[in-house]
Amino acid sequence: MQWLSKLKENLSGNISENLSLASITSFKVGGPAKVYICPRTERDISEIMSFSYRESIPLWVLGGGTNVLVHDNGLSGIVVGTSKLRGMTWEVKGPNVYVRVDSGVTLPELVAISLKNGWSGLEFAAGIPGTIGGALAGNAGANGRAVGYLAEWIRTVERDGRIIEWKKEDLKFSYRYSSVYSPSRVISQCCLKLDVSDRTKVLERFMEYKRRRGFQPKNKRTAGCVFKNPSADVSAGMLLEQAGCKGLTKGGAFVSREHANFIEVRGNARASDIYFLIEYCREKVYVYSGIVLDLEIKLLGGPWVYG
Ligand SMILES: Cc1cc2nc3c(=O)[nH]c(=O)nc-3n(C[C@H](O)[C@H](O)[C@H](O)COP(=O)(O)OP(=O)(O)OC[C@H]3O[C@@H](n4cnc5c(N)ncnc54)[C@H](O)[C@@H]3O)c2cc1C
């Protein structure tokens, strides 16, 4: 592979070949990444992006891998992993704290530091895994709140290596939608605006959000909610339950008995088992209600075949 030797000559950072993506995603299924690179700086990302652009190599981005389903055949080209982008600084200005954070820092780490310092704003993220980059890409949230609304600015590295800083007023977020998301753009850094508050109050709100999550499967092989809620009043979980999806099984994958919008995995499940269940459940909900559910998780690779 000629481009791989060129890549190695030109770039610093950890480069792995044929890395099993099952080992770094929460479903723990899916094939390998042909090349997996964990850049340490924004400049490294920019070099990878411009290199892959020039050489027409497909490019993928992976944060914590907690909201993706990777195809059994894996991903050709280059997968950029953000786990080594770990910087964080903050500045208190009056009643606010501005936290500048690299995209590989995890949401649980940000929640923990907020609890320690009495910063308010991220309490709703209690129990949401993954990185801040992944959270901004999908506007992760719970109970009507979401990460994107806290962003003062976001820096991205574009497909051709250019770096852009998006100001708050350039960004649009809504329920699980982020204008900054694009499959081959890397979110490198952001600044979140939080409130300086009282540690006890922040902890109380955090515990309350944590309590509300009680009915979801924990410490299981899942990727969170599979489908988006069709509206604020109609939850995908309720439709899936009413359509009789709870407990449906295909190979090593099954619809959770605790929450119908979660697919759980055991043993040697394949990504194709999960994909089958996704499409089968979507069909059942459509027949039951006439509603076509949209995916919340991202399918990486393909082609995906149902049947
Ligand atoms: C048990 C469990 C509970 C969950 N609960 C919730 C919840 O309550 N609310 C919620 O919203 N989600 C929830 N999730 C889903 C998931 O945790 C979030 O969506 C999380 O923000 C994904 O972050 P990640 O780093 O794991 O992203 P990944 O899964 O790695 O990636 C998700 C998508 O974002 C893209 N991406 C990742 N990082 C970047 C980056 N730096 N730049 C550009 N694109 C990027 C990827 O290409 C992919 O398309 C849950 C998941 C689990 C397993």
Q: Give the closest residue to 83 by CA, choosing from 102, 60, 100, 58.
A: 102
State in Å: Cα 163 to ligand 1 middle: 22
Residue from 217, 162, 151, 215 nearest 186 by CA:
162
What does the pLDDT read at residue 93?
Answer: 98
> Is 40 considered catalytic here?
no
- Residue 233, CA distances (Å) to 85, 138, 144, 210 in order: 38, 21, 12, 22
C-alpha R_g of the chain: 20
Tell me the average pLDDT across 113-117: 98
Q: What are phi and psi of 243, to 5 degrees?
A: -80, 0
* Nearest residue (CA) to ligand 1, atom 3: 224
**How far is 273 from 2, CA to CA, in rounded Å?**
35
Query: In the chain, what percentage of residues exceed pLDDT 70?
Result: 99
Nearest to 88 by CA among 226, 189, 198: 189
CB of 139 within 8 A of CB of 146?
yes
pLDDT above 80 for 177? yes
Please give the pLDDT value at position 6: 83
Catalytic residue among 176, 221, 270, 282: 176
Q: What are the structural domains of the chain?
A: 2-81 (3.30.43.10), 88-212 (3.30.465.10), 236-300 (3.90.78.10)
Span from the CA of 279 to the centroid of ligand 1 (angstroms):
21
pLDDT tens, residue by residue, 27-82 = 999 999 999 999 999 999 999 999 999 999 999 999 999 999 999 999 999 999 99
Specify the pLDDT at position 8.
81
Out of 27, 38, 46, 66, mutate this one to test ligand 1's pocket (max ligand atoms within 8 Å of CB): namely: 66
Euclidean distance between the first and final Cα of the chain, in Å?
34
What does pTM read for this prediction? Answer: 0.97
**pLDDT of 218-251, one tens digit each?**
889 999 999 999 999 999 999 999 999 999 999 9
DSSP-derived letter for residue 231 is S
Nearest CA to 154 out of 193, 187, 105, 194 is that of 187
**Per-residue model confidence as pLDDT tens digits over 205-222:** 999 999 988 778 888 999
Q: What pLDDT is stored for residue 70 in this prediction?
A: 98
**Percentage, residues of the chain above pLDDT 90:** 92
Q: Give the per-residue pLDDT at 12.
A: 64
Q: Is pLDDT above 90 for 11?
A: no
63: CA distance to ligand 1 center in Å?
7
Q: What are phi and psi of 218, to 5 degrees?
A: -115, 150
Q: What is the pLDDT of residue 157?
A: 98
According to the model, what pLDDT value does residue 13 have?
65
